[in-house]
Amino acid sequence: MKVTHSQVKYLTYWRNFTHYYVVKSKEQKTITVQHKIPFVAGAFASEFPQYLKGFEHCYDCAEERGCHYTFKKWVIKPEYAENRPLYSFTTTIEVMDIELTEAGKEEVQRRYELHKRNMEKYERLLKG
């Protein structure tokens, strides 16, 4: 099955990344990610963040004072807060083709049952 590292990073023993799954192959994949611009950007930075270049008109620069320092941050203007524009960036991720070991299958099943039980508890709370 093809997964990214973030999908299996907690499926390991401490400092042992090969117990629950075996990596059969790896490949690089280029993806484009889109997000809404943040409400506050560049806190503690001396200049406007590079990843938001072109959206300077959507922000007001505010200075905040600490005990021993002053720092800048950029706060979104009220007219953009309700309907924030999207920014995008392109990155390369590593996609792994993995196979679960028997211990891995048991661990995934155990975690599934644990979270399924917790989700059912929360569902009962929501229904009242």
Is the same domain home to 94 and 126?
A: yes
Is the same domain home to 42 and 21?
A: no
Give residue 113's pLDDT. 93
Is the same domain home to 65 and 79?
A: yes
At 106 the three-state DSSP class reads helix
Is the same domain home to 80 and 99?
A: no
User: Into how many domains does the chain fold?
Assistant: 2
Give the torsion sign (CA, 26, 27, 30, 32). negative
Element containing residue 103 per DSSP (H, E): helix 102-127
Which conformational region is residue 42 in: left (phi greater than 0), alpha (psi within -120 to 50 degrees), or beta?
left
Which pLDDT tens digit goes with each residue over 74-108? 999 999 999 999 999 999 999 999 999 998 899 89
Flag whether the pTM goes above 0.85: no
The answer to whether 86 and 4 have CB atoms below 8 angstroms apart is no
Is the same domain home to 75 and 100?
A: no
Q: How far apart are CA 74 and CA 47, in angstroms?
A: 9
What is the domain range of residue 1?
A: 1-31+90-128
